[in-house]
Structure 1
Amino acid sequence: MRNYSACIEWLFATPDDRFEDRIARAAAAGLGFIEFWRWTDKDLDAIEAALNRTGLKVSSLVAEPMIPLTDVNNRETWLEGLTQSVAVAKRLGAPVLIAQAGDDLPGLSRPEQREALIGTLRAAADILQGTGVRLGVEPLNTRIDHIGYSLDSTREALDIIDEVNRPEIGITYDIYHSAVMDEKTEDVIADRVSRIIHVHVADHPGRNDPGTGSIDLRHRLDWLFDQGYRGAVGMEYRPLTADAAAVKAALRALGD
């Protein structure tokens, strides 16, 4: 049984609703997990109460602040924020924090930015050690959604994680972003599935519901699970239809 997680930034959202109400809608649709992005702009008390009422679990949230990790001058500020993010993750029972490397920085060479990122991730591992929370760095596509982002290659991200070489640090593998970059999952992941700590799905074009586009999401997920992946699958897509039936159709498209 795979654990599918509704990204309630987009899924189950209705005009002028309370963010925490989306948790109840996810539960009513039969999902067991939710995830969201920033926590600093949320009512954590209300989210925690909704989780307790429904029994849903949080699969992941974003490590804040969202500033470039490729700039060594940001390291101290980001690590302070990471400590707070870990406390929130533990409070909500989330095993994964998601980090983005940040945009490519003018005036700094690629090797300089890479070394800054590796150093920050090693320091992050020290903060995460023993907490039960892991950090997933997310490669993003630079063709449509994140032009100028510094880390659009899954292979490069995995190479960086190999160099960090700490169990607390892995990648968040977004199949949509990878497919937009013309990556084949089997090729770019190969024997490094153990480095993946969270997965995201959406279809292309449009970053919409699984089953509405051209990405072979089911095949890619099947391969990941056949290779030993056991984490959550985050349904991070812009829904074409907001009702629960559409979410169930998406789950069927993914092979659930």
Structure 2
Amino acid sequence: MKLSACIEWLFSDASDDFAERIRLAKAAGLDAVEFWFWSNKDLDAIAAALDETGLPLSGFVAEPMIALTDPANHSAFLAGLKTSMQTAQRLGARVLIAQAGDDLPGRTREEQHAALVECLKAAAGILEGSGVRLGVEPLNTLIDHKGYYLSSTREALNIIDEVGRPEIGIVYDLYHSYVMGEKIEEVLKDRVSRVLHAHVADHPGRNDPGHGKINLGKRLAWLYDNGYSGAVGLEYRPDGSTADALQKVRATLNDTTG
């Protein structure tokens, strides 16, 4: 299992410098790093730290982060996607992350579903041949993202299947899926190949794995046993020192009992 540190939260207790957080991730024995927005970071320093440590960059957010459920936003998103793709190529990232946006008042779910399919088809054309893929992320609407459109992993996968392009998949966050009451073996059955990247955090609290009640190890074992081969993004709020907790985090993610 390859572990990717989301340095927006991990190692924030030790440094305000994102390049230094990359070095701290390397020192802690992690396999990759990731972050959210790229436009607010010193990309030269990030590139130098990645080169120095040899850590791959799992991915980051495709900017601008605007509602793809609204067709009025598609032109701006697609223009920004080109720049995000070029940044990903520069930094060696293979996955860009997109969010669907809010459930829009006055629009049916069918209309918004169709808007997402339309935008993602156009995005696939931009990404074709680049080596960069786009993952749409379902999020929970019960705690963290009330009003978000895409809370269902099944619907996200249905959208991906309608798009029908290898450049487009999903980011599967085990925390968000658990909060929405989903069972991984049901929502991902026969469609694990559409998962471009995975995220973990525990519940309640969205803290370190091992601090809550999700059996993350068993769920990750199922994911890998059914064909997933990518990294697992550690996207949680550390409850204390990131480095001090990592031994327990690793043990939790490798514990398939229970």
TM-score range, shorter chain: over 0.9
CA change 1:234–1:243 in 2 (3 A) is: closer
Task: Tell me the CA shift for residue 243 of structure 1.
Answer: 3.8
Structure 1 partner of 2:86: 87
Task: Tell me the CA shift for residue 112 of structure 1.
Answer: 1.1
| 8 Å contact kept, 1:20–1:46 | yes
Q: Higher mean Cα deviation, 82-91 or 17-26?
A: 17-26
Task: Tell me the CA shift for residue 15 of structure 1.
Answer: 6.7
Task: Tell me the CA shift for residue 251 of structure 1.
Answer: 1.3
Alpha-carbon RMSD across the aligned residues, in angstroms, is 1.1
In 2: Cα distance, 1:172 partner to 1:248 partner: 25
Written as runs of structure 1 = structure 2, the 5 A alignment for 1:194-209 is: 194-209=193-208
Structure 2 partner of 1:162: 161
In 2: Cα distance, 1:190 partner to 1:218 partner: 18
Task: Tell me the CA shift for residue 232 of structure 1.
Answer: 1.1
In 2: Cα distance, 1:153 partner to 1:105 partner: 16
Q: Does 1:193 align with 2:192?
A: yes
Written as runs of structure 1 = structure 2, the 5 A alignment for 1:4-19 is: 4-14=3-13, 17-19=16-18
CA change 1:3–1:182 in 2 (3 A) is: same
Q: Which amino acid aligns with 1:168?
A: E
Q: Which amino acid aligns with 2:195?
A: I
In 2: Cα distance, 1:16 partner to 1:199 partner: 25
Q: Which amino acid aligns with 2:129?
A: G
In 1: Cα distance, 2:169 partner to 2:80 partner: 19
Q: Which amino acid aligns with 2:5?
A: A
In 2: Cα distance, 1:49 partner to 1:160 partner: 37
Q: Deviations over 1:102-152 (max 9, x none)?
A: 011112111111111100000000011101111100000000000000000
Q: Deviations over 1:49-107 (max 9, x none)?
A: 11111111100100000000011111110000000000011111011000000011112
Structure 2 partner of 1:135: 134
In 2: Cα distance, 1:114 partner to 1:17 partner: 39
Task: Tell me the CA shift for residue 244 of structure 1.
Answer: 1.3
In 2: Cα distance, 1:224 partner to 1:243 partner: 25
Written as runs of structure 1 = structure 2, the 5 A alignment for 1:35-74 is: 35-74=34-73
| 8 Å contact kept, 1:29–1:248 | no
Written as runs of structure 1 = structure 2, the 5 A alignment for 1:98-247 is: 98-247=97-246
Q: Secondary structure at the match of 1:20?
A: helix
Q: Higher mean Cα deviation, 48-57 or 78-87?
A: 48-57
Q: Secondary structure at the match of 2:18?
A: coil
In 2: Cα distance, 1:16 partner to 1:189 partner: 37
| 8 Å contact kept, 2:174–2:200 | yes
Q: Higher mean Cα deviation, 14-23 or 103-112?
A: 14-23
CA change 1:243–1:170 in 2 (3 A) is: closer
Aligned length: 255
In 1: Cα distance, 2:59 partner to 2:216 partner: 21
**TM-score, normalising length from structure 1?**
0.98
Question: Which residues of structure 2 form unaligned runs of 5+?
Answer: none
Task: Tell me the CA shift for residue 14 of structure 1.
Answer: 2.8
- Residue identity over aligned pairs, in percent, reads 64
Q: Which amino acid aligns with 2:212?
A: G
